[in-house]
Amino acid sequence: MPAGRGPDTPALPWLAAVAAAFTVAQLVLVVPDVGLGWDETVYVSQVGPHAPAAFFSAPRARGITLLAAPVAALTASTTALRIWLAVLSGCGLLLSLWTWRRLLPPHVLATAGALFAGLWITLFYGPLAMPNLWVAYGALCATGCFLRAVRDPGDRRALPGLAAAVAGTALMRPGDAVALVAPLAVAAVCVRAWRRPAVLAALVAGAALGGAEWVIEAYVRYDGLAARLHRAAEIQGGMGAHLALDDHVRALEGRSLCRPCDVPWRHPVTAAWWFALPVLAAGGLAVAARTRRLAVVLPPALVGLSLAVPYQLIDYAAPRFLLPAYALLALPVALCLSALVTTPRRRWRVPVAAALALALLGHLAVQYKVLGRAVAHSGAAHEAIDRVVAALRRQGVRPPCVVTGSEAVRVAFRAGCSSRQTSGHDGSITVPELMGTARRQPVAVLVDGDRPVPAYARGWRSQPLPPLPGAAGGFRVFLSPRPEADAAH
């Protein structure tokens, strides 16, 4: 039997059970109560026919939009979209772990899958229309296919799988695809036994195929690739000497975005697993070295670190950014935990296993608590948006219409309006163009708290709106005068 080749069948029940549990947990704990977030709304609006598409800024890629399209193009139901993505994410977990079936034992893969799927971040983003979890699956598949291709030239599925996984990653987030391909390409060049031109060709072809749409759009909408990269860097804040490690720790308390991340760290227990992760991963590498599996376990660890590094050089954090790193590092962690249970002498195995079980139960309890907090916050925001939309409709804001200002993207999408901004990262209309639009259809300017009212809207009719979670103060709308066509009647 070729190196790295093992039986396929025994892994399937283990991995299918983990994927099924992951899907059911999403359907029960997340799907019923989570509304569309701001970023999600931008992605879904590109294919949802009931509202105009929101402005699509330079850093974004359309992969997740294509994944959501089969449901979003047919119905405005958030629940239907959530169910579709929950099932797809369960299948994605199964496929990405299945790729490794010839490289690691089934129980190690199942443990890795359970550890990754048990994180509140993974559960929360499983049914959401966000790209980061799918980057994690793509990176896991790509690394597994890469190792199969370089270790077993007779594995006919490895090279197509490698190219497809890299392409899928690039379609979701081109920058992450670069961080994925770079260490794999270096390994393919530096390790003499792995020098196969076909492997490098698969990496390049996958990146080119997946990134083609983003590059073409750069020339169509941004005056070239360099201009789009520059604009994307401006929006994302660029990279610098700032290390975001402490920002990521704070974000683990349940924040979807920590920007700026100058909030207090109130619940250190939520990051206990985060500090244990590098220790357990290092333990897994030590076990791999002792059992002659280092060539299998070291590459995913290095790729995971490569995917994490760019997100440590920015001045904000979001837990979802590191999902690809967590997925890959779950493999050495699982190997370490498996060795802790099986390696000790017989009389120590039961106590060690019991201690690990208690630690994992405590870990899952914390993850469940944080997940509940994140779900509740999202549900409250969704209900608040609905109340704002109802208030706007009572004021005559109905399609066709335009919403601008604070929370314009989500409010506009729910109301069936266009969302437009006259400045900032999502600037997509000038003030004269907006004033011209106001003569034809309702325009609503949303103002949060003490923020200044735009000069053009100061004479418009003002109404209070229901508050939004996290709003600094009062929330108001400034409504344009009745359109000329209506005033004529």
In this structure, of 33-42, 235-244, 473-482, the range with the lowest mean pLDDT score is 235-244
Please determine, for residue 172, whether its predicted confidence score (pLDDT) is greater than 90: yes
Helix axes 38-45, 408-415, angle to 10 degrees: 50
**185 and 278: one domain?**
yes
**455 and 313: one domain?**
no
Enter the tokens of residue 279: 């220790």
Instruction: Say if residue 153 is exposed, middle or buried (CB neighbours under 10 Å; 0-12, 13-18, 19+).
Output: middle
**212 and 266: one domain?**
yes
Is 368 contained in some domain?
no
**313 and 394: one domain?**
no
DSSP-derived secondary structure letter, 424? S
In this structure, of 159-168, 211-220, 425-434, the range with the lowest mean pLDDT score is 425-434
Is 354 contained in some domain?
no
Name the phi and psi angles at 442, rounded to 5. Answer: -60, 140
Calpha distance 23→126 (Å, rounded):
8
Number of domains in the chain: 2
Is 60 contained in some domain?
yes
Tens digit of each residue's pLDDT (9 = 90 or more) over 441-478: 999 999 987 789 999 999 999 999 998 876 666 789 99
Please determine, for residue 5, whether its predicted confidence score (pLDDT) is greater than 50: no
Please give, one letter per residue, the 3-state secondary structure of 288-303: HHHCCCHHHHHHHHHH
**188 and 40: one domain?**
yes
What is the pTM (predicted TM-score) of this model?
0.94
For 419, the domain range is: 378-487
State the residue for tokens 């199964």: 94
The pLDDT of residue 364: 97
Calpha distance 183→160 (Å, rounded):
19
Enter the tokens of residue 52: 């105009």
**101 and 204: one domain?**
yes
State the residue for tokens 């330079």: 58
Please determine, for residue 431, whether its predicted confidence score (pLDDT) is greater than 70: yes
Is 404 contained in some domain?
yes
Helix axes 323-342, 294-308, angle to 10 degrees: 150
DSSP-derived secondary structure letter, 456? G
Residue 445 bridge partners (DSSP): 404, 478
Enter the tokens of residue 451: 């923020």
**31 and 142: one domain?**
yes
Torsion angle defined by CA atoms of residues 280, 120, 68 and 75, in that order, rounded to the nearest 10 degrees: 170
